[in-house]
Amino acid sequence: MDKLWAPWRMAYVGKGEEPADRGCFFCRAWRETGKERENLLLARSGDCLVMLNRYPYSNAHLLIAPSLHLGSLEEMPPEIGAQLWNLIVFAKTALARAISPHGFNIGVNQGRVAGAGVLDHLHIHVVPRWNGDVNFMPVLAEVKIIPQALEETWEKLAPHFQGLSPFERNPAE
């Protein structure tokens, strides 16, 4: 058997499951001002947020969610839906400027059978893609290679989300 070394992953493996009392990570990231880097939060904008996916499909995989703990698109107030869409467009533009991907996958997984990892807090995936980023590793070894540590990705992307007006507001309001 061949070995694939990824020692930086031990930080995630060693944590185990999130304690139940910590609650929804989207809601926690919204509330915890001053812990943006720790929560991988890139921006709060109006009633929405954008953060790095802690378990990405691809480098710089973003999650965009409303601040409201909503489980489905049907529950979304139209004004928050408009903010969410504007933030998706902004995030796609910011990623294009920061890391120059060749394309994007943007989507919503609703329901466990659709691949939703978080069932009760609606969120949108914005996944940058590059020519050649799908190689033999997922097919032969069921392994996806992420070429950059999350903290390094956060540092690279954070400046592109500064000054995110006109929707910016303090979540404590």
Catalytic residue among 121, 123, 125, 160: 123
- The full DSSP string for 4-70 is ---GGGHHHHTT-SPPGGG--HHHHHHH-TT-TTTTTEEEEETTEEEEE-SS-SSTT-EEEEESS--
> What are the angstrom distances between the C-alpha of 127 and each of 4, 77, 84?
24, 25, 16
Rg of the chain taking only CA atoms, in angstroms? 16
Which secondary-structure segment (H or E) carries 161?
A: none
Is there a catalytic annotation at residue 121? no
CB atoms within 10 A of CB 25: 18
CA 116 to the chain's CA centroid:
13
Catalytic residues: 123
